[in-house]
Amino acid sequence: MKLLSSRKSKSLFLLAALTLSIVSQVHILPALAGQGRQKWDQQAAIRKVQSVIDQEKSGDFAWQRIAWLDNPEEAARRAQEEKKPIFVFFLLKTEKGPAAAPC
């Protein structure tokens, strides 16, 4: 099995962890609400994780098709003209572990 680059493997790991977290909530939340625990479907969880990994590998994400602006003044001007809110997205790069700064 060919090893992925460190960046890609971290991304895949985070996506898989997030997916498992979401899938597990489907089973945990009903139990907390008093509805009883649904039976765990390992094959469904594997399929869900695989679909996230496949999407990551394809590189086809809706957020990549957005015409993002990197100039705050231009974003403010356009938001005012178009009467739309500003959505701010940023990424903190670190060498290891999660970013120390709160988001």
Task: State the pLDDT at residue 84.
Answer: 92
Task: Report CA dihedral (92, 97, 101, 102) to the nearest 10 degrees.
Answer: 100
Q: What is the mean pLDDT of residues 3-21?
A: 68
CB distance 79 to 85 below 8 Å: yes
User: pLDDT for 36-88, tens place per residue?
Assistant: 667 889 999 999 999 988 888 887 788 778 888 889 999 999 999 999 999 88
Going by C-alpha positions, the residue among 102, 66, 101 that lies closest to residue 86 is 66
Question: Measured between alpha carbons, how far is 98 from 3 in angstroms, rounded to an integer?
Answer: 22
Q: What are the extents of the domains in the chain?
A: 6-82
**pLDDT band at 1; cut points 50, 70, 90:** very low
The model's pTM: 0.35
